[in-house]
Amino acid sequence: MSAYPLPGGRQISGALRIMFGQQARGGGRWITQPGAEYECFLCDTTVGPVTGATAVTRFVQTIRTTHPTYCRATAQQHFEGAQAA
């Protein structure tokens, strides 16, 4: 799948999906763990899923900088996609 075009030549290069999970009343135990995954439309790769509050937080904070380091698409394509987001 190729990246989706936007006005001005920009493109959507990926999708970050976050599942928020469900915590029991009182904020203790998780009924459903939070999770996240990233799909790159430029290289047709899915990274993740990761689960757990700490892992999801770390993943969301770093995926936009870590994935381009090993993606088969060029860094410029990732930069242009990030600008569209």
Two tokens at 15? 């999708």
Which residues is 37 bridged to in the sheet?
Answer: 17
Distance between CA 79 and CA 77 in Å, rounded? 5
Q: Which tokens sit at 22?
A: 């469900």
- Whole-model pTM: value is 0.72
DSSP 55-85: HHHHHHHHHHHHHHHH-SS-HHHHHHHHHH-
Q: For the segment 15-66, what is each residue's pLDDT rounded down to a tens digit?
A: 999 999 888 887 678 899 999 999 998 888 899 999 999 999 999 999 988 8
Per residue in 23-37, pLDDT (tens digit) is 888 767 889 999 999
Dist CA 72 CA 11 (whole Å): 17
| Cβ atoms of 21 and 53 closer than 8 Å | yes
